Structures are given as C-alpha cells and as structure tokens.
C-alpha cells in the first residue's frame, strides 16, 4: 500500500515534467502534498498519535491547500498561465526524468539498508524528486515554474523525512514547514515585483548582472 504512494509520487514527478500549464503543475504539487501528508500513517508511532496527527494535518494543510492556493493567486496576478517553450522540451524532460530515476535507484542501492521498518523505496523516490526539482528549476523560464520546482525539491527532502518517520522534535518540524512557507511567500512577493517592474517573469531575461 505504501509502495503505491511512492509510485504515485514518482508518477506525479513525471506528470510535472510533462506538463506546460501552470495550473496543472500546481494541482500536481497539491496532490503530492496530500500524498506526503498520508505517508506518516504507515510510520511506526508508539503512542505519539497527537504528534503524528498534528504533523499530518499541518503538512496536508500547507502543502496540499495553502501553498497551491497562494501560488494560483500569484499566477493570476502575473497573468502567466503557461510555460511556453522552456529550455528543454517536455518530452525530452520526461527522458531526463527517466535518467534521474535510474540514478536515484543506483544511489539508493549504494546506501546500505539499515535494519528496521524503513521502506527502501523512499530513498530512491526522494532522490528522484530532488533531482527532478533541480532539473525543473534550471530548464524552465518562468519564475513561477521555478518556485514550483523548488517546492518539488523541498518535497523530495520532506518525503524522506516523513517516510523514515524521523523523530525530529515538533519545534524543528514546525520550523521547517514555516520556513518553506515563508520562502515561497517571499518568492511570490519578489515574483510580483518582477512582473511589475519588468512586465514579464522570464528569469532568463534577468541577466544584466554579469562578470
């Protein structure tokens, strides 16, 4: 069952790579957020229900709903609906994605299994999402898409965290979530400024600072 979720996560990654419509990408991210939120339910929590629940709900809330909503608004503000002609075409991106997948599985296999209940697949999946995230950021023009890519990257790390049910204290957990949230928030603001003063958000045209 949990493996299904991981598979879904990988698929969402591919979907993300293949899609040019921002609205759609944002939805994909939302789905990922929800899936992330669900993972802990399979974790091994000896009597830490409160904690587990709180984290689940929080991540569900933020990653599944708040951020997508906020990003959609930002998208409408900057009137950019579609990532047209990225540096790397969508089909090619998918191919790259496959390569990333391969590499991630290889890396995962390099890291020895540590006894216990940790699902090995999680490692590969998280690596995969990290790489895809990086790739998206460097292959897409629109600032907004880059933010999405960043979130993908973030998710990659986060998958790992929750899948291994790492017992990082609540405080840190919250800190992480908060940071991600604020980061995206600030980026949104900057994007807004960019679209205002450049009346576009093509980051490849932001290249006046050279040398």
Q: Which residues bind another protein (CB under 8 A)?
A: 87, 103, 107, 110-112, 114-116, 118, 126, 130-131, 133-135, 137-139, 143, 146, 150, 153-154, 156-157, 160-161, 164, 166-169, 171-172, 175-176, 179, 182-183, 186-187, 190, 193-194, 197-198, 203-204, 206-211
CB nearer to another protein: pick between 19 and 145: 145
CB nearer to another protein: pick between 14 and 135: 135
CB nearer to another protein: pick between 15 and 122: 122
* Closest approach of another protein to the CB of residue 66, in Å: 17
CB 126 within 8 A of CB 163: yes
d(CA 77, CA 193): 11
Q: What is the DSSP string of 102-170?
A: HHHHHHHHHSPP-SSS--HHHHHHHHHHHHHHHHHHHH--BHHHHHHHHHHHHHHHHHHHHHTT----H
* Closest approach of another protein to the CB of residue 141, in Å: 8
CB 102 within 8 A of CB 156: no
| Residue 21, strand partner residues | 82
Give the pair of three-digit tokens for residue 20: 């040019």
CA distances to 11, 123, 124, 125, 147 from 101, rounded to whole Å, are 11, 11, 8, 8, 22
* Closest approach of another protein to the CB of residue 113, in Å: 10
* Closest approach of another protein to the CB of residue 133, in Å: 8
* Closest approach of another protein to the CB of residue 160, in Å: 5
CB nearer to another protein: pick between 57 and 113: 113
CB nearer to another protein: pick between 1 and 197: 197
């Amino acid at each position: 069952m949990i493996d299904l979720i991981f598979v879904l996560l990988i698929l969402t990654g591919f979907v993300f790579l293949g899609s040019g419509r921002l609205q759609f990408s944002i939805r994909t991210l939302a789905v990922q957020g929800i899936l992330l939120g669900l993972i802990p339910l399979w974790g091994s929590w000896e009597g830490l229900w409160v904690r587990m629940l709180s984290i689940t709900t929080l991540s569900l809330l933020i990653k599944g709903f708040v951020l997508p909503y906020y990003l959609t608004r930002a998208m409408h503000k900057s009137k950019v609906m579609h990532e047209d002609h990225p540096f790397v075409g969508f089909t090619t991106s998918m191919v790259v994605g496959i390569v990333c997948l391969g590499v991630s599985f290889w890396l995962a296999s390099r890291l020895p299994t540590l006894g216990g209940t940790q699902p090995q697949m999680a490692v590969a999946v998280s690596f995969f999402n990290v790489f895809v995230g990086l790739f998206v950021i460097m292959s897409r023009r629109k600032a907004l898409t880059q933010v999405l890519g960043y979130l993908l990257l973030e998710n990659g790390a986060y998958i790992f965290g929750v899948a291994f049910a790492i017992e990082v204290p609540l405080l840190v957990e919250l800190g992480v979530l908060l940071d991600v949230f604020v980061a995206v928030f600030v980026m949104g603001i900057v994007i807004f400024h960019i679209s205002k003063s450049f009346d576009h958000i093509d980051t490849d045209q932001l290249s006046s600072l050279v040398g």
